[in-house]
Amino acid sequence: MEYLTVALAKGRLATETLRILEEIGITCEEMKDKASRKLIFVNEEQKLKFFLAKANDVPTYVEYGAADIGIVGKDTILEEQKHIYEVMDLGIGCCRMCVAGPEHAKALLQNGRLIRVATKYPHIAKDYFFNKKHQTVEIIKLNGSIELAPIVGLAEVIVDIVETGSTLRENGLMVLEEIYPLSARMVVNQVSMKIEHERIAQIIEGVRKWKGGET
């Protein structure tokens, strides 16, 4: 039997995903050793391999088949636009993609002015402003701490993820428009879906049953 390889987006999502997998009998003891610097973890018995990657890279690993399965946020899937199958919503890591900024920026969104939008998600921001709102904007790509942009005058608004809303609140910003809700998804390589259909379907079914029992 070939190994099935699972790519997990580093961080909270990976921890939560491993907990779910463990509940459906898929374990990887090696991964629990926090001190380890290993990048890839193997469960010999179940013929599974796991690795942690930067969220943005997970769709790439899955598209090229370096991972058969990936667990990653819907935000990353929409932004990366890779040829992969999105097979299920795990219902974890729930948050919202929003346009945010200071209260006075609300008016700029209503009268279609040319504004600057800072974001880690240029595709999502472009699609929202150009295709849905038909508002011409300048997109400024940043890599983190996006909330800084309107504070220091780099942009009028931001497009970013809002989970609890505390980052916005603590920086005098607010949600101005909601783009869409987000959560973690399971994605699958298009070839693996055919070749390893039975094993992948079993995992999907296991998680689906677990979700059913949870809710």
> Could you tell me which stretch among 34-42, 103-111, 140-148, 149-157 binds ligand PRP (CB under 6 A)?
140-148
Report, in Å, the least distance between residue 8 CB and ligand PRP.
Answer: 16
Burial 97-114 (b: 16+ CB within 10 A, else e): bbbbbeeebeebbeeeee
Number of residues that bind ligand PRP (CB under 6 A): 13
Task: Specify the DSSP class assigned to residue 154.
Answer: S
- Cβ proximity to ligand PRP: between 65 and 165 the closer is 165
Q: Is the dihedral of CA 132, 138, 142, 145 positive or negative?
A: negative
Q: Which residues contact 147 (CB under 8 A, 6 or more apart)?
A: 100, 158, 160, 167, 168, 171, 173
Q: Which of 144, 153, 212, 213 binds ligand PRP (CB under 6 A)?
A: 144
Q: Residue 160 Cβ, how far from ligand PRP at the closest point, in Å? A: 5
Q: Which two structure tokens, joined as six digits, stand for 62?
A: 């899955």
Confirm or reject binding of residue 145 to ligand PRP (CB under 6 A).
Answer: yes
Choose the stretch contacting ligand PRP; rule: CB under 6 A; options: 2-10, 30-38, 139-147, 188-196. Answer: 139-147
Name the residue with tokens 């459906």.
24
Least distance from ligand PRP to the Cβ atom of residue 163, Å: 3
Segment contacting ligand PRP (CB under 6 A): 78-86, 129-137, 162-170, 203-211?
162-170
Distance separating alpha carbons of residues 135 and 126, to the nearest angstrom: 9
Q: Which helix (H) or strand (E) holds 83?
A: none
Is 137 among the residues that bind ligand PRP (CB under 6 A)? no
Position 167 contacts ligand PRP (CB under 6 A):
yes
56-85 CB burial, b ≥16 within 10 A, e <16: bbbbbbbbeeebbbbbbbbbbbbbbebebe
Give residues 66-125 in contact with ligand PRP (rule: CB under 6 A). 120
In the complex, which residues of this chain contact ligand PRP (CB under 6 A)?
120, 144-147, 160-167
